[in-house]
Amino acid sequence: MPFIDVDEDNFDAVLAREFEKEKFVILKFGSHYCDACQVMEMELEELCDRLTNVSVLSIDSGVCEYLSQRFFIEEVPTTVIFKEAEKQLFYRTGVTLADDMIDVILKEC
C-alpha cells in the first residue's frame, strides 16, 4: 500500500477522509535525507502488508513546518497513530518496529 503524501494545504481534508473510512491513521514525519526515516518506511510497509484498516500519511517535516509544529515534531522519524481524530494512541520518535505498532492498533480493535 502506498503512503499518502500530504502537505499543509491538503492535510486536514485527507485526514478527515481517512477517518471517515474508519481507518487507523498513522502520521509519518520524516525527510528524504534521513536514513532512519527510510528504515521507518520499511517498518510501515510491513505494517500495511499485515493490516488493512490503516492509512499512512507521509509528511516531509522539512517542507511542512506548520504541521511539524502542530504535532510537536522535534526530530525525525516521528510516528503518531490515531484511532479517531480525538484519540491519539501512540507518539514516538526514532524507528519503531512494525510489531510494536501493530500491538498498539490491535489493542484498540
Label residue 13 exposed, middle or buried (CB < 10 Å: 0-12, 13-18, 19+).
exposed
Tell me the mean pLDDT in the region 8-25: 96
Tally of domains in the chain: 1
Give the confidence band of 25 by pLDDT, cuts at 50, 70, 90: very high
Does the pLDDT at position 1 exceed 60? no
Q: What are phi and psi of 91, to 5 degrees?
A: -150, 120
CATH at residue 64:
3.40.30.10
For the stretch 60-72, pLDDT in tens is: 999 999 999 999 9
Tell me the mean pLDDT in the region 14-20: 96
Q: What are phi and psi of 10, to 5 degrees?
A: -110, 0
For residue 2, the model assigns a pLDDT of 78
Q: What is the DSSP string of 19-67?
A: HHTT-EEEEEEE-TT-HHHHHHHHHHHHHHHH-SSEEEEEEETTT-HHH
For residue 109, the model assigns a pLDDT of 85
Asked if 79 contacts 40 with a C-beta cutoff of 8 angstroms, the reply is yes
Asked if 23 contacts 14 with a C-beta cutoff of 8 angstroms, the reply is no
Domain carrying residue 20: 4-106
For residue 52, the model assigns a pLDDT of 93
